[in-house]
Every structure is written in structure tokens, then in C-alpha cells.
Amino acid sequence: MSAKKWLWLAVFLIAVFGVVPVFIEITGRSDLYYTLTSVALLSIASAGVWLTFYIGRINIGQGAFALVGGYVSAILVTQVTVNFWLTIPIAGLVCAALSVLIGLPILRLRGVYFAMVTLVLTEVAKLSALALPYTNGAKGITSIPLPGPLVLFDLVLLPGLESIANPKLMFYIIFSVLMVLAYWVLWRIVNSRLGHLCRSLQQNEELASSIGVNVAYIRVVAFSISSFLGGVAGAGFVGISQSIYPSSFQVADSINFMLNCFLGGLGYVFGPMLGTLVLYFGWDLLFVTGRYQLLIYSAILILLMLLVPNGMLSLFDRKKASS
Amino acid sequence: MNPILEVKNVSRRFGGLIAVDDVSFNVSAGEILSVIGPNGAGKSTLFKLISSFLKCSSGEVQLFGQRISNLSPHEVARKGVVRTFQETTIFKSMTVLENVIVAHQIRAKANLLDFFLRTPRAKSDEGRFKESALSIIDLMGLTEFKDEIATSLPQGYLRALGMSIGLATSPKLLLLDEPFAGMNHEETMRMVSTVGRLRDELRLTILLVEHDMPAVMKISDRIVVLNFGQKIAEGSPEAIQENPRVIEAYLGSEDTALGI
């Protein structure tokens, strides 16, 4: 990594873990913690969607995996009394396993056909949540207790959130760390041979298989990593909102995950993170426009896609801009 | 001569149409074998059957006595039978070097997790791939373009890149789909000598499907002729040129098409 990139990384980390908390403490706007934690979680889910774009598939099904992850976490916490923090990786793994089963048949589809099937997945997940015995139907699972202390051999790794003064800050820090981890993993994938193989799939699957690349395997690996991230994000939301409903993640959320990637830039690892931040805050800022909120929001989205088709990050990419 | 590849009574039907009808022949180690025939003779279908991009309706293809026609395309490639494409099929938005490096996948000793974690095994693979890619690029005369995005290559060099991608897999048998199509005489002659060098310097066995008769006559050790899906002749270029059934099959086309 070049010195400039290290500098950017340092600025980013200081902003997330230093400037933001200090700003919130000074201004007393502690509601921002919840908003920013949401952004962190949504951008984790978007990172997954971005990876499926990277193998040349349009994934509008991330909401399904977020919902499944959320329910896995909620059920484990309320009915099996597993520590919340442990349910996060479990939710991710359940979603990854599920996505292997679903992905094996549907990843053969390309283009709009794959997009359509994944779109349906979100609806299927919602209907399943309404119908299955452990999910409590339309009433959802509510009053989920705050995470208890995470203890390993008498060593308290994380204190219980009920016993500390500022649980919102704690959520913010932990999920921001998770977000940084998720993007580190994504960055490593893209800059390793796995990323090159994903790109070879995106650009020409027939040629990739003719040179001995097991395209079905790579597709499933990428899709399961994507769904793992979706499940993690869904579980995270159960932590901060202490509830989950069949409508917690809907088709609109699945589409938003995809938009985050588009808007940030499909060619840039950090595109989905920026896209999530801008879209989430953009929507909130337009709240003052009342009933015109959706109209203005949509118009801006259309304009952005026309003016910067390669995403907002392409504005900063001098190498691409000059060629 | 010991056969590398044996095509045994292979047929392929599409509905009522028999595209390839009970075709058998062998490919020997170190030779250039060309499959020719008029348009619609079933050459391309046969080509896809050998590389397993299509399944045989009956019959089978064997590599070193082992059946490969039931495998998927990437497994056939892993066994050492690698095809190039008729169109200029490349990884469009990668550089020339990246194209050839990524094509080394078969030769990877490290697994995906190794590459993710950058283990020593992965690093040694990366090093080997880059070195080998550079030498292939050099062999195919692409060195000056190695950092160009593939789509910006001049037309004539795109096919050389396609072949470089195939070579990166270090195939035992290279299948070339119309390597001279759309080239002028000069480009064709350059490609003929390149293909000859692949056989002589890399000791590759090559099976090619081609329309350009003078080039085929010049380059081939043996020729198989298809017409209406059936094999009508097999032999040296000289024998093929004099074979009455071949002349009959090409009747109506110019004599010059056969190079006589």
C-alpha cells in the first residue's frame, strides 16, 4: 500500500472512532449514534451485494439474508439464551449455509433472471417469517434484552450493556469495528487472486471455464460470503433495535443495498460504504421537504446515475478520468 | 505414433438434425491435426464436443485412454485439453498481462484461502505465474502491449492474446478454433509460423478447425475432412488434395479453395 493510502486509512479511522464520538458528546446529539450504527450495519450488507456484482450477478436478495440473520439472532437470544455477540457469527454462518443451498441452482442464471429470483427471495423470507412456528408471526420478536457480558474463562471481553453508562456508544464502536473488518476482508479478496478470478467470471464465464476455473465453485463462494455479511448485518440490527419483524427487511431494503453499490461505484471496494452513508443521510436530510421527499430523492438518484454512471468514487479516480 | 486423444464414434444430434455423425479419429503426440470441411459440416460442433462445451449424444472422447466427454469444461481443461475461441474471447477490462496471469489458475498449488491470507505458497504461485505469463507474452509477440487494457489491442493481436490465455494453462492438447479467420495473407503467414513454433518449441499437440485452405495445407501434419457431419477423408495434406471425395465435397467452390 502506498503512503497516501495509509494516510487516507488513518484519516478514516480517526474520523470514525475519534471525531464522531467527540462531536456527538459535545453536541449531545446521541440519536446520531443510532443513525451511524445503522449506516455501519447497512454498509456491511451492501458490501456483500457489491461482491456479487463483482462476479457479474445483480443481487436483489440481500434483504432476505438480513432478515434470516436477524431472526436467527433473535431466536437464539430469547429462546436459547445465547449471548448476543455470539449470535452474530452464527447468524452469518447460517445465512452462508443457506446461500450455498439456494445459490447452487440459481447462480446458473444470469443477468435479469438472477436478479428476478433474488428479488423473490426477499419476499419468500418475509412470508416464511410470518408462517414459521418460532418466528411469532406478524407480531415479530420484541423486548429482546440488551447484550449481556461476553465472558471467556472468567475474563470479561465485553461488559453487559445494561451495566454501562452509554450502550449506544458501545454499539457504535463495536459495529464500526465490524464494518472496518468487513471492508478489510473485501479489500483483501479483491486484491488477491480470488478477486481476479471473480473478475474473470464477471467478464467472460465461458472463457474462465475453458481455462479450468471452476466457475460454479467461485460463484458459490462469493455468494456465500455476500450472504454471510447480510446475516451479520441483520443480527446487528436485532442488537440495536431489540426487536425483529417480518417487515424489518423488505424488497425496498434489498433494492437499497443494490443502490448503495451503484451510487458508490461498482468498481471501488469502498463504493458501497460511501453509497450507504450518502443515501441514508440524503433521505433523512430531505425529511424537511415533507410530501415531496420521495420525489426529490428519486430525481437526485436519477441525476446521479446519469452524471456519474461509475459511481461517486469515480469522481476521485484520476487514473480513470484521464484515460 | 501414440495417440493422445481418441475420438470414438462420436455423434451429436440437435432434434432431428445430426450435426456430427459417428466420427472417429486419433490425435498423436506432437502433431498438428486440422479438421476442415464446407460450411455447416459440423466442425464447430465437433470442437465443442471435444472440449466438453457440448455433450455427445453417443460415442466418447478419450484422453490418454481415459474418458473425458462426461466431464465439465473446466475439468477437461484441468486434464490438459484447452480450447481457444472463434470470436476474440478475452477478459476485456483486464490488461494483457493480467489476462495471461489469471489464466494460470490450473497450475495453482495454493487454494483460495492461501491467496486471501497471502501465505508463502500463494506468493510463490504468484511469482511463478507472472514469470511464465511474461515469457508467453514474449513468445506471442505481445510484450509491447503487456500493460494495455485488452480491448485496446489492435485486432490482429487479440487472437494472439486468446492463444496466450490458452497457453497459460500449459495444455497437453491445444484446440484452436479458426485461428486464421479474418486475417489477411501476411497476418495468416505470421500466425502459421507461430502455431508451428508452438509445436516445435513447446512440443504441443494441436488440433485446429479452419477454413483457410492454403494455411491448413501449409501447417498440418494430417487433415480430417468432414462433410454433412460425417468424416469423409483423413490423411496427409497431399493425399487430401487428391482425394476425389474431398474434391467432390468442395465442388462448386473454387478450386483455389483447396489450394490446387
Mean pLDDT within A288-297: 88
Residue A313 pLDDT grade (very low, low, confident, very high; cuts 50, 70, 90):
confident
Instruction: Report the pLDDT value the prediction gives residue A321, as an integer from 0 to 100.
Output: 46
**Is residue A49 pLDDT above 90, yes or no?**
yes
Mean pLDDT within B165-180: 91
Mean pLDDT within B68-87: 88
C-beta separation of A54 from A190 below 8 A: yes
Q: ipTM, 2 decimals? A: 0.81
**Is residue A149 pLDDT above 90, yes or no?**
no
Nearest to A209 among B73, B98, B112 (CB): B73
Q: Is A221 on the interface with B (CB under 8 A)?
A: yes
Task: Please tell me which residue, A62 or A2, carries the higher pLDDT value.
Answer: A62
C-beta separation of B241 from B223 below 8 A: no
**Is residue A10 pLDDT above 70, yes or no?**
yes
Long-range contacts of A169-172 (CB under 8 A, 24+ apart): A169/A21, A169/A33, A171/A33, A171/A37, A171/A239, A171/A240, A172/A20, A172/A21, A172/A33, A172/A36, A172/A37, A172/A40
A72-104, pLDDT tens digit by residue? 999 999 999 889 999 999 999 999 999 999 999
Exposed/middle/buried for B149, CB within 10 Å: 0-12, 13-18, 19+? middle
A55-73, pLDDT tens digit by residue? 999 999 999 999 999 999 9
Instruction: Report the pLDDT value the prediction gives residue B1, as an integer from 0 to 100.
Output: 60
Mean pLDDT within B255-260: 53
Instruction: Report the pLDDT value the prediction gives residue A181, as an integer from 0 to 100.
Output: 96
List Cα–Cα distances, B7 to A98, B21, B210, B214, B216, in angstroms: 42, 12, 18, 26, 21
Residue B114 pLDDT grade (very low, low, confident, very high; cuts 50, 70, 90):
confident
Q: Is the dihedral of CA B86, B91, B93, B97 positive or negative?
A: negative
**Is residue B12 pLDDT above 70, yes or no?**
yes
pTM: 0.87
Nearest to A211 among B116, B125, B168 (CB): B168
Instruction: Report the pLDDT value the prediction gives residue A111, as an integer from 0 to 100.
Output: 83
Whether A207 sits inside 8 A of B73 (CB atoms) is: no
Q: Which residues of chain A neighbour B51 with C-beta distances below 8 Å?
A: 210
Q: Is A322 on the interface with B (CB under 8 A)?
A: no
Q: Look at the domain B1-80+173-260 and name its fold.
A: Rossmann fold (3.40.50)
Whether A193 sits inside 8 A of B53 (CB atoms) is: no
Q: Is the dihedral of CA A289, A294, A296, A297 positive or negative?
A: positive
B118-162, pLDDT tens digit by residue? 889 988 989 999 999 999 999 888 999 989 998 888 877 888 899
Q: How far apart are CA A207 and CA A217, in angstroms?
A: 15
Q: How close does chain B come to A261, measured CA to CA in Å?
A: 19
Residue A320 pLDDT grade (very low, low, confident, very high; cuts 50, 70, 90):
low
Domain count, chain A: 1
Q: What is the three-class DSSP state of A233?
A: helix
Instruction: Report the pLDDT value the prediction gives residue B259, as an integer from 0 to 100.
Output: 54
Residue B87 pLDDT grade (very low, low, confident, very high; cuts 50, 70, 90):
low
Q: How far apart are CA A183 and CA A189, in angstroms?
A: 10
DSSP A192: S
Instruction: Report the pLDDT value the prediction gives residue A99, as an integer from 0 to 100.
Output: 96
Residue A113 pLDDT grade (very low, low, confident, very high; cuts 50, 70, 90):
very high
**Is residue A322 pLDDT above 60, yes or no?**
no
Q: Is A191 on the interface with B (CB under 8 A)?
A: no
Whether A194 sits inside 8 A of B94 (CB atoms) is: no
Q: How far apart are CA A70 and CA B48, in angstroms?
A: 47
Comparing alpha-carbon positions, the chain A residue that sits nearest to B148 is A323
Whether B82 sits inside 8 A of A210 (CB atoms) is: yes
Residue ranges of chain B assigned to CATH 3.40.50.300? 1-80+173-260
Task: Please tell me which residue, A233 or A112, carries the higher pLDDT value.
Answer: A233
Whether B85 sits inside 8 A of A188 (CB atoms) is: no
Q: Dihedral (C-alpha) A287, A288, A289, A295: value to the nearest 10 degrees? A: -10
A116-134, pLDDT tens digit by residue? 999 999 999 999 999 988 8
A with B: how many residue pairs have Cβ under 8 Å apart?
82
Instruction: Report the pLDDT value the prediction gives residue A283, as an integer from 0 to 100.
Output: 86
Put the strands of the sheet holding B3-14 in their side by side order: B17-28, B3-14, B58-63, B66-67
C-beta separation of A215 from A201 below 8 A: yes
Q: Which of A85, A73, A274 is nearest to A170 (CA)?
A: A85
Put the strands of the sheet holding B32-36 in their side by side order: B81-83, B173-177, B205-209, B32-36, B222-227, B230-235
Angle separating helix axes A111-131 and A251-264, nearest 10 degrees: 140
**Is residue B55 pLDDT above 60, yes or no?**
yes
- Provide the H-helix boundaries in chain A: 3-14, 20-27, 31-54, 62-79, 84-106, 111-131, 167-190, 193-203, 205-210, 215-241, 251-264, 271-285, 293-307, 318-322
Nearest to A197 among B77, B82, B105 (CB): B105
A207-261, pLDDT tens digit by residue? 998 888 999 999 999 999 999 999 999 999 999 999 999 999 999 999 999 999 9
**Is residue A323 pLDDT above 50, yes or no?**
no
Whether B105 sits inside 8 A of A212 (CB atoms) is: yes
